Structure 1
């Protein structure tokens, strides 16, 4: 796959992926390229700088590994939340309310709540906070 920066004759800049350089050439010759903004068929490659890695000898990073300090901090926060609280799924609002009312023992929980449920919890003085990450997908 190859990504090209493209422009149309109306001055719109956009990019697109192609199977190969020759695939782009074939589509261009056949007149099958068009501007993603205005639909103009007069499209050409824009000037691009190559993507070059700074340290070629550095091992490739897995996409599942955090790549920068913010991603590492978010991953650590997720690990801490998941290891120190119970996941209650979409029963979060019900569980938080039951603990607040003393109907069930208090414990750290995390899960999902609809916006209206979260708003009612906050309005009722039940301490909740949104997490800056989505729950992991459950698979069979």
Structure 2
């Protein structure tokens, strides 16, 4: 762990341990953070839906209906949307903002990067305890 500009740099694991389509759950003290590799882009967010606290690590990564003309239905944004596994609330993976009320409802996201051969998370506070859990959702998500 290395502190940089009021951020704590935490090397979580080698990047080879998080292939496209895979997920890991990181417990930092009492906080659960879901880490996902979607098409070689790494995302990190609080593992809790803001609606009823359902673990978002179980949520499918999908696309959604996009703006179109009346009587026309277009599907788009494939692999950019994370859905709550219980009620289907949709969130933009990049920003954490909900699609239905982006200025009021969002997932808490974290700065995570693939740096050289490692997955690195940046936090504002220094963690005391870190636990990493491999997560397999091939039959759920």
TM-score band w.r.t. shorter chain: under 0.3
TM-score, length of structure 1 as denominator length: 0.24
Higher helix fraction (1 or 2): 1
Name the one with the larger strand percent. 2
Which has the bigger relative contact order, CA under 8 A and spacing at least 6? 2
Q: TM-score, normalised by structure 2?
A: 0.24
